Structure 1
Amino acid sequence: MKILQSKYTNSFFVLLTVTGLLSSCYKPKKHFLQASGNYVLALRTQGTNSTTDYLLSMDTINTASKNISATGNGIEQLAWCYFGSTGSTVFSFSYGTNNVGIGYGVREGGGLYEKGRFSFERMDCFGKGDDNTLVAIGAPWGGGSYDCQIQLIDATTMSIKKKKLTPLYMRDGSDKLNKWPTSIVVNDNKMYVSFYPLDGGSWNTDLTDTAYVTIYSYPAMDSLTTIKDTRTGPIGYYGNQVNMIKSENGDIYTLSPSSLAAGYTQVTRKSGILRIKNGQQSFDPSYFFDVETASGGAKVLSATYAGNGLLVARLQIPGSDDISKLWAAFDVTIPICKIAIIDLNNKTVTDVTDIPVHGGQYGAQGLVEDGKVYLSVTSTIAGEARIYAIDPLTATATKAAKIEGLEVPAIYKIVN
């Protein structure tokens, strides 16, 4: 097996090879009995030569003495995975010898069972359409075509029920840049897709002075318009992060990292947050939150919406953004991240000092329950990987379940 060499960092090597090299050696997968409980977690562990992904169920995650472990519990996935959820279904999307999507449900009393599976070509970005539909977008990996494939996945039949081939956006006839989707929000019969332009061969990002969102009708998926704003850079970044947030009133907030660690090869705008008011097809000219200035130089990477205008956000710490950190936001071993509470209404950033500085990761979807946000944190400084329960009102956190592995890329609670 030929191993590709990166001209940037080891993190970029992981980016380019993880969906193939870490997962291509197929072997029969073990299916353990599932523990009771309605919490469903994705667990990534590190072996001698590769990582292994599991889905497992638990009855609680908010106890510090509880261990998240695949020992005797968990369904080993076919390869390295992305994860998504809608309604009462959790999906894993395995990238290996064959790309396979598998849907899981939770039995009464707890425990996972397989609902069905389907094949796919590429799926790189996910969002909830409705309780029975997951939206997935496949990006043009490695250049080539400038079209993306929008796919609607039926959680009832475990099949792709509709596809739409689209370039997301073309500036003009000479535009030779791919558009990589970063986040999906469905609201008011419209689908909002953020993206960033890049050269699909080199991964260089030569256009970083504008935020872009293309708006489609939903579920028809007809392209309506592409909106742009030059107050900050492109929204989101690679890796199925959460980069667009829908609030209770339907307003959508967008996160622009403007970060080399997030894979941008240049930075020309401050990291910031824009708003699209409910039902509108334009950025709100009256709202811009310069997160980088308000935080003393930190950059917002991803976030979980906790309600009442509060985000529990993963930020890149000030002074950690140089070319040597290119793609570092995906590496759990490089401690450049912190957790903070972002108040969208008052435009403030408050650090959660109970959580150590830690590494980044793919996905990292949080769970909101009973006023707390549960997030995966892997810290070489603290010497452990753990779930933290974060109180957004007080900007405090307590240790929850310990992770026996690298990270937990996704946390869900399924209620049948």
Structure 2
Amino acid sequence: MSCSSDDNNSTQKEEEEETPTAVSKYIITATPTASEGVADYILTADELNQGIISTEGNGVEQDGTYRYYVTNNNKFFSLLYGQGNPGAVTTYELNEEGTLDKLSDFQSETVQAFAAVDNDILLIKISRNTESPYAYWYRLDTETSQFVAEGQINTQELANKENGELAFFSWITQVGDKIYLPYFTVKACCNDTFGTDYPDEANIAVYSYPEMELETVIHDDRTSSIGRYFVNGLTVDEKGDAYAFSSGVATTNGELSTTKPSSITRINQGETTFDESYLFNVEEAIGGKYVTTHMYLGSGKFLVHLGLSEEKGAYTTGKEFAIIDVYSETVTEVSGTPAVEDIVLVTARNNYVSEDGATAYVGITTETGSYVYNIDVATATATQGLEVQGGVITAISELEYVE
């Protein structure tokens, strides 16, 4: 018996010794406030609910302004928006000491949509030129940080409008093994380049992946377009159902022209049509407010930014927050955030949710500083957490190093 016990203890010790150690860090990007036209810094932190970090003398300075971020395959990708010119893509990963290693730094076309898809990042450069009505897609392998495929989409043919409007993709969402590209149509001419004569419709182009071959277009006229320029409007829950968020902000000749309120619709798992039985009118439920941005928390709950309906704008980010339950079709406004009039800027994208979905973390900057606010999902209550001194928070993420 004693021999058997020793063998068990020995095996247990070997298993304990073989258990890999992990190091994780929160990744905070911030734009320094000391001067204009400066690049973001990438900072690391051990926790988000308290403490202070600073851009002064810390972090990794980015090359160039207008940076955007995506995390996939435990790597952090920093993309430079080159405003029409090629921009740098820089890749980082966490090392065993908890600091960032630069893996690669290469040039890419400036893109207007990008998202993690499987172990890739799919990027799309979208034209607003009727003489060259093409969107170009690029597939970036995150293992090698190399582009492995590319192609083009004729957006005028996709839109299929009598007046020749172009399809403009708002964002990219992986739904099962397909790619869903919600789009709005734009004139791309006549001093109304982002205006449309079709403000009361929602469209999603469905593509195979990785081939990126068009399979079908999903259409709905119960809402306006899904998502907005550079803003995701489509997210998949654990059941495989896709929820589509419309802000209701389509314009024609510079004026709000849609008659549809900010609403949420649904595409059930395995379907390529909208569920006609589901339409959640958010403006009616919340009373004169509309959704500008959303982030999935899990179990059918979303953290959303809200703006006043009377102040709708195609590029506005709401400064109020709420938790929307798409299953029960309820909206609970978040308390504890700064007063709207005191907020200078909120992080519109690249906020973070804990693995268990219990806490959402958002960047909020006021005249007194930039902080990560911790929002308890169960109580819809926010508390001030980590302070970022000398900078304005632009993204919150997490990386892990596993030995």
- TM-score band by shorter chain is 0.7 to 0.9
What is the number of residues matched between the two proteins? 365
| Shift in CA distance, 297/47, structure 1 to aligned 2, threshold 3 Å | same
Per the TM alignment, residue 410 of structure 1 is displaced from its structure 2 partner at its CA by 2.0
2:304 is the alignment partner of 1:319: no
Q: 1:352-363 alignment to 2 at 5 Å?
A: 352-356=334-338, 357=340, 358=343, 363=348
The residue that corresponds to 2:289 in the other structure is 298
Pick aligned residue for 2:139 from 152, 166, 171: 152
2:154 alignment partner, one of 148, 156, 167? 167
1:249: which partner in 2?
A: 239
Q: Does 1:110 align with 2:92?
A: no
Q: Percent identity?
A: 28
1:12-411 equivalences in 2 (<5 Å): 38-63=25-50, 65-67=51-53, 69-79=54-64, 80-96=66-82, 98-130=86-118, 132-141=119-128, 144-168=131-155, 170-172=158-160, 174-201=162-189, 202-239=193-230, 241-259=231-249, 265-321=256-312, 327-329=315-317, 336-356=318-338, 357=340, 358=343, 363-369=348-354, 370=356, 371-379=358-366, 383-404=368-389, 407-411=392-396
CA distance in 2, matches of 1:250, 1:91: 26
Asked whether the 8 Å contact 2:52–2:389 carries over to 1, the reply is no
TM-fit CA distance, 1:49 = 3.6
Tell whether the 8 Å contact from 1:117 to 1:159 is kept in structure 2 after alignment: no
Residue 213 of structure 1, CA deviation: 0.8
Deviations 1:234-262 (A, max 9, x none): 011123x332111011111111111379x
**1:307-355, CA deviations, whole angstroms, 9 ceiling, x for partnerless residues?**
111111111134323xxx66343xxxxxx52010001011111110211
Query: Residue 172 and residue 184 in structure 1: after superposition, are their counterparts in 2 closer, same or farther (change >3 A)?
Result: closer
State the 1:105 CA deviation. 0.7
Encode CA deviations 1:368-406: one digit per residue, 9 max, x unaligned: 1142111112345xx432211111221111111123356
The alpha-carbon deviation at position 267 of structure 1 amounts to 3.0
**Cα 1:76/1:87, change in 2 over 3 Å:** same
- Given that 1:390 and 1:396 are in contact with CA atoms closer than 8 Å, whether structure 2 keeps it comes out as yes
Deviation at 1:54, TM superposition (A): 2.0
Give 1:198 shift. Answer: 1.8
Give the Cα separation in 2 of the matches to 1:205 and 1:53.
35
Q: C-alpha distance in 1, partners of 2:161/2:350?
A: 37
For residues 16-65 of structure 1, give each alpha carbon's deviation from its aligned partner in whole angstroms, at most 9, with x where no partner exists: xxxxxxxxxxxxxxxxxxxx9521122123454424222222222221x3
Q: Greater strand share, 1 or 2?
A: 2
SS of the aligned residue for 2:158 comes to: coil
Take 2:213 and 2:250, find their aligned partners in 1: how far apart are those partners?
Answer: 33
Equivalent position amino acid for 2:337 in 1? I
Distance 2:184 2:321 in 1: 24
Q: Any conservation in 2 of the 1:242–1:304 contact (CA below 8 Å)? A: no
- Give the structure with higher Rg (CA): 2
Give how far 1:141 is off: 4.9
Return the letter of the residue paired with 1:252.
A
Q: Which moved more, 1:52-61 or 1:139-148?
A: 139-148
Q: CA deviation at 1:102?
A: 1.1
Structure 1 76/274 Cα, relative in aligned 2: closer, same or farther at 3 Å? same
In structure 2, runs of 5+ residues without a counterpart are 1-22
* Distance change >3 Å, CA 213–CA 396, structure 1 → 2: same
For the residues of structure 2 that align with 1:88 and 1:112, how far apart are their CA atoms?
A: 12
Q: Distance in 2 between matches of 1:376 and 1:206?
A: 36
Letter of the structure 1 residue corresponding to residue 105 of structure 2: R
The alignment partner of 2:127 has SS state of coil
**Cα distance between partner residues in 2 of 1:396 and 1:404:** 24
Q: Report deviation, 1:200.
A: 3.0
Q: 2:396 and 2:59 mapped to 1: Cα distance?
A: 14
Which deviations, in whole Å up to 9, do the C-alpha atoms of 1:246-286 show, x marking residues without a partner?
A: 1011111111111379x984332110111111121111111
Give, as a single letter, the amino acid of the residue that structure 1 aligns with 2:57. Answer: G
SS at match of 1:108: coil
Judge conservation of contact 1:37–1:58 (CA < 8 Å) in 2: no
Question: CA separation in 2, counterparts of 1:326 and 1:230?
Answer: 19
Structure 2 CA distance, aligned partners of 1:99 and 1:205?
A: 29
**Closer/same/farther in 2, CA of residues 258 and 403 from structure 1, 3 Å limit:** farther
Verify the 8 A CA contact 2:55 2:388 in the aligned structure 1: no
